[in-house]
Each structure stands twice: as C-alpha cells, then as structure tokens.
Amino acid sequence: MRGCIVIWKYVAKRLLQLILILFGITLLSFALMQTASGDTVDAIEQQMGSAMSEEAKEALRHEMGLDQPFIVQYFQWVGKIFTGNMGYSYIKNQDVFPMFMQALPNTLLLTLSSIIVTVLISIPLGIWSAVKQNKAVDYVIRVCTFIGNAMPNFFIALLLIYIFALQLHWFPVMGNNGFVSIILPTFTLAIAMSAKYTRQVRATVLDELNKDYVTGARARGVKERTIVWAHVLKSAMLTIITLLALSVGSLLGGTAIVESIFMWPGVGKLAVDAISSRDYQVIQVYVIWMAIIYVGINLITDIVYHYLDPRIRMRGREG
Amino acid sequence: MADTSLQLKHKKLKKDRTVLKLGVFLALTAGLLFIACFGQYLVPYDPYGQDLSNALAPPCADHWLGTDRYGRDLLSRIIVGAQTTVFSALALVVGITLAGTVIGVICGYFGGWVDSLIMRISDIFLAFPEMVFAISIAGVLNGGIWSAAIAVGLIAWPRYARVARSQVLAMKNHQYMNAAKLTGARWYKVILKHILPNIMGPVIVTAALDIGAMIMNLAGLSYLGLGVVPPTPEWGSMMSEGRSMLQTSPWIVLAPGMAIFVTVVIFNLLGDTVRDILDPKQTRRTAGDSVRRMKRRLSGRNRREKTTV
C-alpha cells in the first residue's frame, strides 16, 4: 500500500510542476504574440478598410482592455481561456477555438496512424538488428536508419509524392479524400520516426541481451528464441513504449510541414497558413495547445512508467 | 583485469581505424566548407542569371543538374546555397553551444536559486514540441535566415545547458576541485582552468551530433517560407519553389534535396566519429545513451542528484 502512496505523492509533485510549466507556456506565448502582433486596433482598422479617428481608436482600446498594463492583460486573457474564449481571428472573421478544434482530430488521426506504422516498422527491425548484431542484416538495417536520419521529412514527403502519386498514381497527391489520402503523410512521418526509433529499440534490446540473466539462461541451455521473445522483449518493452511516447513531441511538430505539403487539414497546416497571413491569434492557440498536449503526454508517460516499473516502485517504498 | 596482448592489439587497431575515419570525414567536411566559402567563384553560371529560353531544362552536359523555372542553373544555385545553409547551421550550433555551456556552468557551479530559476525556465522551453515552437517564433520574427536560426536556437539551448550542468555537478565533488578552491583559486579561475577543459568533451559531442539536425530544421523552416527569402539560393526554399513542378521537372526538387542529404550525412558521420574519439567508454552512444538518459530522467535520479549536491 505504501507503494501506492509514493505514486500519489509523485503525481501530486508532477501536477504542481505542471502548473508552473503551464504558467510559463502561456506567459511566454502571450508575451511573444503581443510584441509580434503590434496594435490589435490598428489591425481591426486595416481589416475594416476605413480610417478611424484617434478618439474612436482610444475608446475601442479602452473597451478591449488594451490600455491596461501587460500583466493585467495577461490575466484577463488567461481568464478568457478558461471560459473557452481563445480569441477572435480578424483575418478569417471567426472564433479561433472552434477553428482549431475542427482541425485537431485530423492531426491526432495522422499522429496516431504514424505511431502505429512506426511501431510496426521499427520494433521488428530493431529486435532483428540487435539479435543479429554485426551480421549483414544488422549492417543493412543500420545503414537504412542512418539514411532515414539524414533526410528531412519534407524531402521524404516529396520523394513519396513523386514516386507513388505522380509516377505510379497509387495515391492522390493531396487533400483529404478518406482513407487513401492519409497513407502518404503517414508514411512520411513514420519513415523519419522509424529511423530514430529502430536505433533506440536496437540499443535497448542490446542492453538487455548483455545482462547476466541472459547469459544465465544461455548457460542453462534455454533456446535463443525463447530468451529473446519471452525474457528480453518482456523487460525491454517498458522502455520501448516509454521512448515511443516521449517521441510524440517531435511528431507533433513534424506534422506541421508534412500537413502543409499534403494539404492535410490539420492544425499544423492551420498554423502555417496563419503565419503567412500574420494571423497571430491562431498561432497563439496552436503553440499553447500543442505544448499542453505534449506536456500532458509526457506527464502521463512518466506516471505510467513509475507505476509499471516494479524497481522504481520498490525503491520508492524503501526510501 | 589487464588486457591480453591480443586484446590490446585489437584495441589499437580499432583506435587507428577511428582516427583514419576522423581524417576522412574531416577532409569531407573541409571540402564542404571550402565550397561554402568560395562557392561564388566556383560556379559555372551566375546563380541569379535568368535564361528563360532555357527554363526547366533537364540535366544535360551544359547544366549538370538542370535548370529551374527561370532558367537558372541548379548546380550553381546549389553551390552558392551551401554558404547559407552550412554557415547558418554552424553559426547556430556554435552560438547555442557557447550560450548553453555558459548557462549550464553557472547553474551547476553556483547552484541555489539561480540554478532553480534557470532550470525552471528551461523546463518551460522544453515543454514546447521543438518544431512547433520554432515555426511560431520564425513566423513571428518575420522570416529571414537569422530569425529562423534564433527560433531553432531558442528551443535548443536547454539541452546544452543541461549537458554542461550535469557534467559540472558530476565533477564538483572531485578532490582536485576542493584542492583548487583550498589553494585560494577564484571562482572564474576554477571554472576556466578546471571545469571547462573537463566538460568540453560531452558538450562538443552533443554539438557535433546536432549539426545535421540543425541543417534539416533550418531547411525545413526555409521550405515553409520562414527562412531564407527568394531569390537567395537556399536548399530548403529551392525545394519549395520546385514543389509545383514536381511532375514535369523533378530535378528541381531532387537536386537540392540530395544536397541536404549528402551534407547531413557528412556532418552526422563526423559527429559519430567525434563521439567515438571523445567518448570511447560508450561507443554506441547515439541510441544507447538516449535510452539511458531517458531511463535516468524517468526514474527521477536527476532530481535526487540535484538535491544531494
């Protein structure tokens, strides 16, 4: 039971840290966008296309609270976030939050499918490569991951488009026409991620293979296959899954470029479009929400890892 | 246990091979830097010179890599583009290495509230997914290669600060540090003479392994139109220009893409070798180390380390 208490203490500590980090994230994004976007009232004036008198502008500023000191504005803005009001895009004449929420499922879908493909590619390859260490297979796999690591994802995307969409006509080039459209962006992200991840899986399995219990099992005459599948994999799995969860962050960022190449209507494309039209409200929402999702995933991973790993649980109990 | 003579011989062979590898990769890097430096004197054509009668020419004897929409020679543009891409990435890595090391050493050496404050700030920067933050900053800063570099740098410094900090913490309790302090050495002297020389290895390894990734990040931002502004030749933005002509003239995209790929490969190979030399204890560090680091982070050993010091 005391193990349980330790976990809860840990969760509480992490939640406290989370609040600090959220405060930092929002403050940083708010300050950044404030300095970047200039005067909102001027932006409105430009959008309306007609000139406003200075008094009218002042009145509008007062009405919107823009004449308040920075920190007051920040807290007002945070208050608005809590009520679900993330600002208004004067470029698209739309509330930002629904716009974002509409695009988010597409990004999450793409992220999820890439993770699945990454797992399907890299875990078998990583294990195979580790088991056949320094054999031909290992070298081939390592060269492939090296090549994958040296290709930027937009290059992979364009290569895939050229080969599979333009030459072979297997897939549509862009847009969202159901299942077929997600395949190329998924593979783009999955190839880049598998290159990193296969190496990590290989290293984890190798680490595990060098442990004493494996030598012991071999000495007892346990079949190599049984050792790998029943013992090594079982104890390596926790690390492998954790690493996967932690690499979601790079995936979330990587989707922005890939989404805009494939015209996939997710939040990344929304943000890239917003940058070219200087729509700072949208960028702000994108940065904050992506950070929150990322921090959330990391937190859950950490807690689950703590909960699942008996070694850490035990240590907590002793201490 | 003493090594047998056979083992020693094997070790020496391995070391010789690593040194040879380092020589080869350094030579390749030097070649790349030479092209980046003197590119504008090597090019067969004017990289900005338009020749519309020759637009979209496929690779041929006159234009080895073909021409783009305005008939500009792609080979010339790629050679000149090396300058922007390679130097901005190198400047970026040098910049964040210096900044990160200074911050990390200050944190590790002085500890206390300065350390806590800076580490919490770095937590905040680490809370953003890398490219999400870089894209936003680059967008806010109005484009240009330097704003892209600042964007990537802002998100990358915490990693360097942490490497430097953990190194300082690890050696803080060594005897010779106490001896240096006891003999009355001032703090800056301790840092300059005793700490910096000892922590530079891991910091340089981190930096060397990062150059390739930085080149790709900067090229990515340029691809999105957040880095170099056309008509300045830069590989990422050249690929984005060729994107609409992928079907008819794939070489416009493929040539700069391969340039990025080859450059990143060279820097990654160099980085791997530098790691093997500076850090012979862990030959397989790329993946193995990140796994170990991750485990350490998750098991909370870092936090304990901080409280005991």
Instruction: Please tell me the distance from the alpha carbon of residue B105 to that of residue B70, in angstroms, as a whole number.
Output: 51
- Residue B281: pLDDT band (50, 70, 90) is low
Instruction: Please tell me the distance from the alpha carbon of residue A250 to that of residue B132, in angstroms, as a whole number.
Output: 9
In order of their start, the domains of chain B are: 25-308 (1.10.3720.10)
Point out which residues pair with A88 in neighbouring strands.
A95
- Residue A140: pLDDT band (50, 70, 90) is very high
Partners of residue B230 in chain A, C-beta under 8 Å: none
pLDDT at B95 (0 to 100): 94
Instruction: Please tell me the distance from the alpha carbon of residue A161 to that of residue B46, in angstroms, as a whole number.
Output: 31
In order of their start, the domains of chain A are: 1-91+277-319 (no CATH), 105-269 (1.10.3720.10)
Would strands A88-89 and A94-95 be described as parallel, antiparallel, or unpaired?
antiparallel
pLDDT at B284 (0 to 100): 44
- Residue A305: pLDDT band (50, 70, 90) is confident
Inform me whether the C-beta atom of residue B236 falls under 8 Å from chain A C-beta atoms.
yes
Instruction: Please tell me the distance from the alpha carbon of residue B204 to that of residue B193, in angstroms, as a whole number.
Output: 17
Structure tokens belonging to residue A255: 């989707």
Q: Is the pLDDT of residue A253 over 80?
A: no
Mean of pLDDT over chain B: 81
CA neighbor of A180 nearest in space, from A191, A190, A189, A169: A169
Q: Is the pLDDT of residue A319 over 70?
A: no
Partners of residue A280 in chain B, C-beta under 8 Å: 140
**A253 vs B129: CB contact, 8 Å cut-off?**
yes
The alpha carbon dihedral of B269, B270, B276, B282 has a sign of negative
Mean of pLDDT over chain A: 82
CA neighbor of A106 nearest in space, from A252, A282, A284: A252
Inform me whether the C-beta atom of residue A242 falls under 8 Å from chain B C-beta atoms.
yes
Neighbour tally for B197: CB within 10 Å: 9
For the segment B122-130, the average pLDDT, to the nearest whole number, is 84
pLDDT at A225 (0 to 100): 84
For the segment A288-305, the average pLDDT, to the nearest whole number, is 84
Residue of higher predicted confidence among A3 and B302? A3
- Residue B307: pLDDT band (50, 70, 90) is very low
Q: Is the pLDDT of residue B290 over 70?
A: no
- Residue A17: pLDDT band (50, 70, 90) is confident
Please name the member of A151, A161, A207 whose beta carbon is closest to the beta carbon of B288: A207
- Min Cα distance B227 → chain A (Å) is 12
Q: For tokens 């070489």, name the residue.
A: B251
pLDDT at A317 (0 to 100): 47
Tens digits of residue pLDDT in A170-228:
877 766 666 778 888 999 999 988 998 899 899 888 888 888 888 888 889 888 888 88
Q: What is the DSSP string of B223-237?
A: HTTSSSPTTS--HHH
Residue of higher predicted confidence among B305 and B99? B99
For the segment B142-162, the average pLDDT, to the nearest whole number, is 86
Residue A89 main-chain phi, psi, to 5 deg: -85, 115
Residue B88 main-chain phi, psi, to 5 deg: -65, -40
Q: What is the DSSP string of B280-291?
A: TT-TTHHHHHHH
Q: What is the DSSP string of A19-51?
A: HHHHHHHHHHHHHHHHHHH--HHHHHHHHH-S-
Partners of residue A253 in chain B, C-beta under 8 Å: 129-135
Residues 6+ positions from A151 with CB-CB distance below 8 Å: A191, A192, B257, B260, B261, B264
pLDDT at B105 (0 to 100): 92
Cβ atoms A186, A110 nearer than 8 A: yes
Instruction: Please tell me the distance from the alpha carbon of residue A170 to that of residue B295, in angstroms, as a whole number.
Output: 42
Structure tokens belonging to residue A146: 């090296």
Q: For tokens 């030579």, name the residue.
A: B27
ipTM of the complex: 0.82
Inform me whether the C-beta atom of residue A297 falls under 8 Å from chain B C-beta atoms.
no
Tens digits of residue pLDDT in A96-129:
888 888 888 989 899 999 999 999 999 999 999 9
pLDDT at B143 (0 to 100): 66
Q: Report A:253-282 residues touching B (Cβ under 8 A).
A: 253-254, 256-257, 260-261, 271-272, 274-276, 280
Residue A245 main-chain phi, psi, to 5 deg: -60, -40
Q: Report B:270-289 residues touching A (Cβ under 8 A).
A: 284, 286-288
The alpha carbon dihedral of B241, B243, B247, B249 has a sign of positive
Partners of residue B139 in chain A, C-beta under 8 Å: 274-275, 283
Tens digits of residue pLDDT in B13-36:
777 888 888 889 999 999 989 988
Radius of gyration of chain A (CA): 25
The helix/strand/coil state of A88 is strand
Inform me whether the C-beta atom of residue B146 falls under 8 Å from chain A C-beta atoms.
no
pLDDT at B309 (0 to 100): 31
Instruction: Please tell me the distance from the alpha carbon of residue A293 to that of residue A305, in angstroms, as a whole number.
Output: 18
DSSP secondary structure letter of residue B73: B
Structure tokens belonging to residue A239: 């690390």
CA neighbor of B187 nearest in space, from B176, B199, B195: B195
Residue B57 main-chain phi, psi, to 5 deg: -75, 135
Beta strands in chain A, from DSSP E residues, in sequence order: 88-89, 94-95
The torsion of the CA quartet B209, B131, A294, B163, rounded to 10 degrees, works out to 30
Residues 6+ positions from A187 with CB-CB distance below 8 Å: A117, A160
Lowest mean pLDDT among A143-157, B265-279, B294-308: B294-308
Partners of residue B300 in chain A, C-beta under 8 Å: 10, 306, 312
Please name the member of B128, B257, B299 whose beta carbon is closest to the beta carbon of A155: B257
Instruction: Please tell me the distance from the alpha carbon of residue A241 to that of residue A235, in angstroms, as a whole number.
Output: 11
Neighbour tally for A134: CB within 10 Å: 9
Partners of residue B220 in chain A, C-beta under 8 Å: 152-154, 257
Q: Is the pLDDT of residue B296 over 60?
A: no
**B246 vs A272: CB contact, 8 Å cut-off?**
no
pLDDT at A175 (0 to 100): 61
Please name the member of A35, A280, A295 whose beta carbon is closest to the beta carbon of B127: A295
Q: Is the pLDDT of residue B303 over 60?
A: no
Structure tokens belonging to residue B19: 């040194």
Q: Diameter of chain B by CA atoms?
A: 77
Residue of higher predicted confidence among A246 and B250? B250
Burial B272-288 (b: 16+ CB within 10 A, else e): bbbbbeeeeeeeebbbb
Residue of higher predicted confidence among B208 and B292? B208
Tens digits of residue pLDDT in B40-69:
887 777 777 777 777 777 777 777 777 777
**Backbone angle region of B121, left / alpha / beta, with phi > 0 → left and psi within -120 to 50 → alpha:** alpha
Structure tokens belonging to residue B257: 């893409």
Inform me whether the C-beta atom of residue A163 falls under 8 Å from chain B C-beta atoms.
no
